[in-house]
């Protein structure tokens, strides 16, 4: 009789342990599934962001191409209207700037010489 009770206790304990292990396994499986679902959502989100970035890059490339084309057209039109290439126009502007600087320098020298003469006259007349 005692052996039957021991067997019954062992069976109950084994069933309880088996039940606990199954419960723990189910809990771990649920946790793993949640993590997998979270990872799937993150992957989906990243893929959408990559798609958006790729689309924006394509738009930027297209815009840059349009800007380059417009710039080239404007430069060609300016060259056509002025009858000068951009290098010729640059050289002309530099030459004009140099000429203006020479004129301004000459005017400043002339003005300084006049002030010098006036100062010299003023000093000699006061002596």
Segments making up each domain of the chain, as ranges: 85-127
pLDDT value at position 109?
94
What the block records as the tokens of 104 is 């301004």
- Helix (H, G, I), strand (E, B), or coil: what is residue 59? helix
CA atoms within 13 A on the CB side of 16: 6
pLDDT value at position 102?
92
**Residue 98 and residue 90 in contact, taking contact as beta carbons nearer than 8 Å:** no
What is the value of pTM for the model shown?
0.48
pLDDT value at position 127?
62
Residues of the chain falling short of pLDDT 70: 126-127
């Amino acid at each position: 009789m005692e052996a039957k009770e021991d067997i019954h206790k062992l069976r109950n304990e084994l069933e309880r342990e088996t039940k606990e292990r199954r419960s723990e396994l189910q809990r771990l499986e649920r946790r793993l599934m949640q993590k997998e679902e979270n990872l799937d959502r993150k992957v989906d989100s990243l893929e959408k962001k990559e798609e958006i970035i790729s689309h924006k890059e394509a738009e930027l490339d297209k815009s840059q191409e349009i800007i380059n084309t417009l710039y080239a057209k404007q430069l060609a039109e300016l060259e056509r209207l002025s009858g000068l290439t951009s290098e010729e126009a640059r050289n002309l502007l530099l030459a004009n700037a140099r000429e203006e600087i020479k004129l301004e320098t000459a005017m400043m020298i002339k003005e300084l010489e006049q002030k010098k003469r006036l100062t010299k006259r003023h000093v000699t007349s006061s002596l």
